[in-house]
Structure 1
């Protein structure tokens, strides 16, 4: 009996060559629509789906393959005598190969200005039905949804006269991955169109692999990096790597931390952010990006070594010269001048990432996720900083205009410092940062230790309230002049009293920024 293959693809990469190879191997090619035209135009004989079903395409092509003559041919189990007897009586020819990829729903919804009607029209019905049927009957049918698999199928047919069961089983698995992602995208798009809460009773997520990693956090852990499907142009997965070896797992995690901080500043003033182990270690503004980088470096010249630097201005030659003096893992910027690239690319291992919109704020409603054993924590991303109308001075002394400016600067930094976190700042430059401690006084003591003599005259930001007055007392001893914190402790009055006695100005924001 002549073998039969059904080909109907949205992505026509390699389909003509695949059809020619199948024809040469004695397969009857069944197709429809644009795929049939492309194959016929290449000189391959094509049998139309309607010629098999005896039923014309209708409803603008919405109904063409949903017919027993097609689906019985796909689903008939060859080792089941009753199945084979039934399809013979019904005049159904078995289908041995199904090569289908689906209407371009993802590409459609990513286009600017797409309407709901256009999106709905690009929801495939017949395609998923056929490939799922073929995958269910994988022992008898080779089903292909990825053009990269055409060669494997042809090579096995030429070598063995059939596709191996191992390959057919693998291809069947790809079908369900393909349809699961397809349906997840549709469900997510429709949920957003309705304006429903993202916290649905059943949550299905879909991502696309960007790359396999050499390893994860440690060399004994395997890892990969996946991209969220969407149009975000201010995220790490949208960056263009200009130089250096592949990003590692830790590189990506730390670089994301640098982007989080720089988004707090936008493009209003030149700013440089240095990050180490996902925590900011040196942040500063400047009259230009060169000065901003120098001040970020001077904030903590020890921790920045081997770190990641993000800038919200083009890297120029002068800045590149300074950066080249130390070892940096990654530099992320909107762009690099030709001269800067010539300087920095002389360093073999440094990664240079270009991301024009890196300082653009994340959209409200963006989800933040954290995997835990046996579950997933999902929350809205913390895109707030503070509400100006909620800021309250709780001490007798009001902060000066300069202190207020530095307090707001420090608040941007401490928001992205692991809890318990403390940030000290002066003149729009970090002085000392104490991240990720199990108690707040130790975080402050670390920040004071890092800052040394520079701490005197600085201001302090704390990501959460003070449960005791000890932080205020330590601040007084170090020469810190003003404090910003959320407030809300049952012992706030103790801290306020200590601040008044020390002549320290203290602001409550009413907004906490835990980061675990």
Structure 2
């Protein structure tokens, strides 16, 4: 299959070929590009694995080969319902799962690639119609959903149907600068049983285990180094692609804090006159006290005291890491954002210091049996 172009428009000759007898997807509408397929294939694997691990509909909002958010079905944060002029009672489980994933970092999700683990219905398709997105991949579409999505962007919107029975080859190859590298494919599924049995400090409730496994699965398909904060079946904030783990932890913490702040009712009321992405942009500006973004509304922005109070009252957050935590500073940074449980691989020479700090701060620590690097 010929693609629109390669990684960049100045790479005009690009195509995709199956390794075996077929591709793992069919094109329903639109024409894929190189990055579209990188996002779609990573995102599809993520939601398929997350659905299997949790037994619930899973979705991700994917952007530049990493997830901006991951979630299973549940209540959608009110600020996004405001922006899309909808309500929870109008949403099917698959629509709710996607909107929850998009609500994690709605600025990053602008122009995302969507993946959902279940059949896309009319409810989900109508929400996708409202947002700025490059494409979607799912195992199936109702007739009405297919009609809605195939009309988006005058038929240019990319709709892919994944083959849920497709299994990849046991080995994979990558070529770079005239070198072909071959390795075993990382196809072992992550489950609560396989990853979260080694509780080293504290105790871990069942709902926390769901949040931890979602975080680990998200990191399996996120550019390393990476960490994630999760709560209530939603991966809220991801720090990815940084050279130091503490930088990932701080970056994701800032995203989590902002996600909490933009839900403040006063600034939601102030932003009510705006629509869609403009409303979200104003919410961010009001939450962060951005004088350039708020204009005459700066007096309505959150104060430093309000922001600090929201963080101080945050609890029940889970934290996951794709590699071991080399220093206890990651624990201390994560603790600022209401983290009560951590899951990460062990193997650092400073593991004991990390475990001790978790005990001092009342954080449960689960040692996972593998690392989750993705490049």
Do the structures match in fold with TM over 0.5? yes
User: Which residue is 2:304 aligned to?
Assistant: none
Given the alignment, which residue of 241, 254, 259 partners 2:27?
241
| Structure 1 segment 436-455 matched on structure 2, within 5 A | 436-452=241-257, 454=260
Offset at 1:356? 4.0
| C-alpha spacing 1:488/1:361, structure 2 compared with 1 (3 Å) | farther
Offset at 1:346? 2.7
SS state at 2:130 partner: coil
| Structure 1 segment 38-49 matched on structure 2, within 5 A | none
SS state at 2:188 partner: coil
CA contact 2:44–2:116 (8 Å) conserved in 1: no
Alignment partners' CA distance in 2, 1:379 and 1:514? 14
Offset at 1:266? 4.5
CA contact 1:308–1:330 (8 Å) conserved in 2: yes
Alignment partners' CA distance in 2, 1:238 and 1:405? 28
* Counterpart check, 1:260 vs 2:260: no
CA contact 1:386–1:509 (8 Å) conserved in 2: no
User: Which residue is 1:216 aligned to?
Assistant: 6
* Counterpart check, 1:354 vs 2:161: yes
What's the CA shift string for 1:58-108, capped at 9, x where partnerless?
xxxxxxxxxxxxxxxxxxxxxxxxxxxxxxxxxxxxxxxxxxxxxxxxxxx
User: Which residue is 2:143 aligned to?
Assistant: 338
| C-alpha spacing 1:467/1:361, structure 2 compared with 1 (3 Å) | farther
Specify every segment of 5 or more residues in structure 2 that has no aligned partner in the other structure, as ranges.
Answer: 75-92, 261-313
Alignment partners' CA distance in 2, 1:250 and 1:375? 21
What's the CA shift string for 1:206-227, capped at 9, x where partnerless?
xxxx21x333212222432232
TM-score normalized by the length of structure 1 = 0.55
Offset at 1:355? 2.2
Alignment partners' CA distance in 2, 1:424 and 1:290? 22
User: Which residue is 2:263 aligned to?
Assistant: none
| Structure 1 segment 179-190 matched on structure 2, within 5 A | none
Alignment partners' CA distance in 1, 2:220 and 2:187? 10
Alignment partners' CA distance in 2, 1:216 and 1:229? 18
Offset at 1:249? 1.2
| C-alpha spacing 1:249/1:386, structure 2 compared with 1 (3 Å) | closer
User: Which residue is 1:487 aligned to?
Assistant: 346
| Structure 1 segment 415-494 matched on structure 2, within 5 A | 415-452=220-257, 454=260, 456-494=315-353
> Bigger radius of gyration, 1 or 2?
1
SS state at 2:126 partner: helix
CA contact 2:43–2:221 (8 Å) conserved in 1: no
User: How many residues end up aligned between the 2 structures?
Assistant: 297
SS state at 1:329 partner: strand
Alignment partners' CA distance in 1, 2:29 and 2:11? 26
| C-alpha spacing 1:424/1:248, structure 2 compared with 1 (3 Å) | same
| C-alpha spacing 1:436/1:510, structure 2 compared with 1 (3 Å) | same
Alignment partners' CA distance in 1, 2:131 and 2:318? 29
Specify every segment of 5 or more residues in structure 1 that has no aligned partner in the other structure, as ranges.
Answer: 1-209
User: Which residue is 1:276 aligned to?
Assistant: 63
User: Which residue is 1:148 aligned to?
Assistant: none
SS state at 2:336 partner: helix
TM-score normalized by the length of structure 2 = 0.74
User: Which residue is 2:172 aligned to?
Assistant: 368
User: Which residue is 1:393 aligned to?
Assistant: 199
* Counterpart check, 1:496 vs 2:355: yes
SS state at 1:269 partner: coil
* Counterpart check, 1:321 vs 2:133: no
Offset at 1:282? 1.3
CA contact 1:422–1:444 (8 Å) conserved in 2: yes
What's the CA shift string for 1:442-482, capped at 9, x where partnerless?
11111111122547421011000011111001011221111
CA contact 2:122–2:144 (8 Å) conserved in 1: yes
CA contact 1:488–1:510 (8 Å) conserved in 2: no
User: Which residue is 2:282 aligned to?
Assistant: none
| C-alpha spacing 1:393/1:361, structure 2 compared with 1 (3 Å) | farther
| Structure 1 segment 285-296 matched on structure 2, within 5 A | 285-286=72-73, 288-296=93-101
CA contact 2:220–2:372 (8 Å) conserved in 1: yes
Alignment partners' CA distance in 1, 2:11 and 2:166? 33
Alignment partners' CA distance in 1, 2:166 and 2:188? 10
CA contact 2:137–2:161 (8 Å) conserved in 1: yes
Alignment partners' CA distance in 1, 2:163 and 2:120? 12
SS state at 1:347 partner: helix
Alignment partners' CA distance in 1, 2:335 and 2:51? 33
Alignment partners' CA distance in 1, 2:348 and 2:244? 15
Query: Which ranges of 4 or more aligned residues in structure 1 deviate by more than 6 Å?
Result: none
SS state at 1:342 partner: helix
What's the CA shift string for 1:164-210, capped at 9, x where partnerless?
xxxxxxxxxxxxxxxxxxxxxxxxxxxxxxxxxxxxxxxxxxxxxx2
User: Which residue is 2:370 aligned to?
Assistant: 511
Alignment partners' CA distance in 2, 1:509 and 1:487? 7
